[in-house]
Amino acid sequence: MSERLFTDVLVIGSGPGGATTAAMLVENGFEVTLVEEGKHLSVDDTTSYSLDEMGKKYRSGGLNSSFGATNVTMIEGRCVGGGSEVNAALYHRPQESLLDSWRREFKIDGFELSDLEPFFERVEKDMSVSKRPSGVGGASIAIREGADKRGWSSGEIERFWKYEEGEDSTEGRRQSMTETMIPRFLKKGGRLLSGVRLQRLKCRDGVAKSAIGCRLDSGQKLSIDFNVVFVCCGAIQTPLLLGRSGVRPVGDTLQMHPMIRFAARFPTEVNDPKYGVPVVQIDEFKPEMTLGGSYSSLPHLALWLGHSVPDREKKLESWRQMAVFYVAVVSKGHGSIRRLPILGEPLVRFPVSDADMGALGLGVKRMGEALFEAGASEIYHPNTGAPIADPSGLAELGGGLPRSGAAVSTIHLFSSCQMGERDDCPLDSWGALKGTANIYVNDSSVLPTSPGVNPQGTIMAIVRRNVAHFLEGRISYKR
């Protein structure tokens, strides 16, 4: 016997897009059901960036991959709060010129900078966007020092992080969705269903009536009838759900920030994991290229150091003298998302181009140069782990990163269901799926192109804007 529920508004997916959408709607008097495939866990239920967290909060344990000439490991959250629970919580506003180009090229109505400003401000306030109150860790200091010596601009990145009076930089609390929007949603009487996978929408003549799925723990089939649905499942799952629903083929415009990580060694200790992810980045080459630091506990160093490093065991004994760094680039490629027959899972293809590999190699060279300036004694080749003892050894990387052995990954996926009035955009300027009456998309999928920086702040601001527009059409709504 199938379980049957009714709700006025159904929101599918509880990441930054879905949780924000659900909280805004319920706070404006709508009856809302928020459905999440993953579990409802708090920030404290797992240690950040740990093996345990990968198992409990990441989709496929963090081991999903796109296919292409170079495969890309795709890291996505799969828990209440989605990516906000597992990312570095870094906040960026996108460059104004980028927002303006989105408005012009994709013909997005109501997308002037002055239109967007209040929504960014609201995100910054709601999410306690802030810098660390007292100092940064050793890896951040090395990045800043190296950039200064190279004459490159760098800066401390703000985070979604809340500090109580008197707390120092190693304390405070991540402001993920389970700390912010989800409690607000629940407090106003929203209904949250976790561990529920909705497979498809039942639609007729452009009107969606219900969502069909099951409870993952019991296998109990579930049907939810609704008046309006917001699909907020992320850049991979949103097109997949719409495809399974037979509404409209989408998903051929997937974009991502390919990233490569590598380790560096210093003569003194630079690594104190209690500082978390280094917050200083080299700004000089943004938005096309971001150079920064990664979380660098002993297991992470073992992961990224490379198998062929001489005296690997000995080097890992002094792991506090090492840290992991990364290069993320804007790719011009467009990936596709297809549903595999029978399995129903997404097959993601993404063309990491020679230009992308070139940019990644150049990024490693640049970051390596900065780290040597900051006193690094060895950089480890990202593909092989071979030690590089001086800047001259980086020259070859400037010509590009070899594909063989390159462990390319991404934590930023977007643009698989773009918004705009342009004919090729499946969504209108406000996230409504064209040709349908009551289906909206409101997550990273809607971004027209790569923002070049951590996209969560941009997604949340645009999501707020789209919901505000939805509300204006239905009730008297004050920003």
> Which residues contact another protein (rule: CB under 8 A)?
50-51, 55, 60-61, 63-65, 71, 197, 214, 216, 297-300, 302-305, 307, 312-313, 316, 340, 342-347, 404-405, 407
Q: How far is CA 189 from the centre of its chain?
A: 28
Cα separation of 168 and 57, whole Å? 27
Residues 301/270, Cβ–Cβ less than 8 Å: no
Catalytic residue among 307, 334, 412, 469: 412
Q: What is the DSSP string of 386-420?
A: -EE-SGGGGGGGGG---STT---EES-EE-SS-BS
- What tokens does 243 get? 């495809």
Cα separation of 181 and 175, whole Å? 9
Cα separation of 191 and 22, whole Å? 10
Q: Please say which residue, 50 or 227, places its beta carbon nearer to another protein.
A: 50
Q: Is 344 left (phi over 0), alpha (psi -120 to 50) or beta?
A: left
Cα separation of 457 and 119, whole Å? 10
One-letter amino acid for residue 65 of the chain: S
Smallest distance, another protein to C-beta of residue 345, A: 5
> Which residues are 291's β-sheet partners?
282, 327
Smallest distance, another protein to C-beta of residue 269, A: 18
Residue with tokens 């969560």: 456
What single DSSP character describes residue 342?
T
Q: Please say which residue, 37 or 124, places its beta carbon nearer to another protein.
A: 37
Q: Can the peptide bond before residue 133 be classed as cis, meaning omega within 30 degrees of 0?
A: no
How many degrees, rounded to 5, is the angle at CA 206 between CA 203 and CA 210?
25
What single DSSP character describes residue 275?
G
Q: What is the DSSP string of 291-348?
A: EEE----HHHHHHHS-TT-TTHHHHHHTGGGEEEEEEEE-----BEEEEPTTT--EEE
Cα separation of 210 and 228, whole Å? 9
The SS3 assignment for 37 reads: coil
Q: Please say which residue, 304 or 372, places its beta carbon nearer to another protein.
A: 304
b/e 175-208 (16+ beta carbons within 10 angstroms → b): bbbbbbbbebbeebebbbbbbbbbebbebeeeeb
Residues 323/264, Cβ–Cβ less than 8 Å: yes
Q: Please say which residue, 50 or 223, places its beta carbon nearer to another protein.
A: 50
Active site residue 412: yes
The SS3 assignment for 341 reads: coil
Q: Where are the alpha helices (DSSP H) in 151-231?
A: 181-187
Cα separation of 236 and 374, whole Å? 39
Smallest distance, another protein to C-beta of residue 203, A: 21
Closest CA to 196 of 22, 26, 39: 39
Smallest distance, another protein to C-beta of residue 259, A: 15
The SS3 assignment for 118 reads: helix
Cα separation of 49 and 39, whole Å? 17
Catalytic residue numbers read: 412
